[in-house]
A = this chain, B = another copy of it.
């Protein structure tokens, strides 16, 4: 179960570079972060995919797709709490010490909730546009910083795609 230190260090460096390039930040507490990445690599070896080290995986990839790190909940959690569920990723406010790290309430739906059909929002799909470079993304809140030009969250404007832009196969 123990992860080779060289592999762990390499994974850390890669994850950190990818995070920064995309406008994300790893938790600056390196030993905390290394411990979490060790958990991800352990899951990778055990299940064949790097699921979240702070959640119990089923071992069925299709069941766990939403908690493969980075999980589907990271970005809303960064927005609402300043960190992801594990505090592997932190927002730039937390990184700058302008906001304290706090516990994150689990937002992952239970199996029962997932089983219930979740219809598409009748109001359409929320698009965010960076007013500086025109970057577009579809998510609940604008990103912390624009991954392309690094403009901050308050430089984004929202659009709504009409609901007849239906999900396709």
Q: Which residues of A contact B (CB under 8 A)?
A: 18, 21-24, 65-66, 68, 70-72, 74-75, 123-129, 131-139, 143, 147-152, 154-155, 157-162, 164-169
Contact = CB atoms under 8 A, between A and B. Distances in A.
A149 B65 CA distance: 15
A137 B48 CA distance: 28
A22 B148 contact: yes
A157 B138 CA distance: 11
B70 A149 contact: yes
Contacts of A148: 22-23, 147
B167 A161 contact: no
Contacts of A136: 127, 136-138
A39 to B, nearest CB: 18
Given A126-B168, A160-B168, A167-B159, A134 B134 contact: no
A147 B151 CA distance: 14
A156 B36 CA distance: 25
* Residue from A71, A133, A166 having most chain B Cβ neighbours under 10 A: A133
A138 B128 CA distance: 10
Nearest to A120: B159
A137 B138 contact: no
B143 A133 contact: yes
B165 A159 contact: yes
A155 B125 contact: no
A124 to B, nearest CB: 8
A127 B70 CA distance: 21
B165 A160 contact: yes
